[in-house]
Amino acid sequence: MTCKRVAFIIAIFIAITNSAFAETDKTACASWLNHKVTQLHSPNTIDLCEVSAGKPLLIVNTASHCGYTGQFRTLEQLHQKYKDQDLVVIGFPSNDFNQEADDSAETAAVCYENYGVSFLMTEKQVVKGENPHPVFQHLGQEQGQPNWNFNKYIVNRQGEVVKKLGSKAEPMSKLMQQEIESVL
């Protein structure tokens, strides 16, 4: 075997090995996202690890009877604009600020019927306090607990929480889109 042939075989082996490792990185998820949650008003389960592996995320604590509830419309617009670039939007309804419906059917109607939400929505969760859902426990440790409904947490493809934006941050604002584009 000539030196050129050996070098060629080694180069192919390295390329295949690097490709395999790159694929593994894309399918891994951050340990804090290794949870399953029930989808809003559905028997289906959302495997957060599966839906988030190697993808940027926008995680939002929501409420269906809040002054910011109209942001469902612009969150959906944001979802539609960036979903083909792998952005995953996940809404976590919560009654921690006493503005979420008691009945998940009512919450679902607000989201799906009133605002046309097609991004992922979970059943109602605790997002602040002493015993928040583990996802919000991590978000709180990294960027602070939500101080009201519609706090937005931006997570990069590696599962690092890079930014928290408050309720007033409009999903389709220039600032929000810049922050999202920084993790795409």
Catalytic residue numbers read 66
Token digits of residue 13: 């082996």
Q: Which residues contact 4 (CB under 8 A, 6 or more apart)?
A: none
CA distance from start to end of the chain? 45
Residue 102 CA to residue 118 CA, distance in Å, equals 21
Q: How many CA atoms lie within 13 A of 76 on its CB side?
A: 15
Q: How far apart are CA 144 and CA 104, in angstroms?
A: 27
Place of tokens 């269906």: 64
Q: Are 60 and 90 in contact (CB under 8 A)?
A: yes
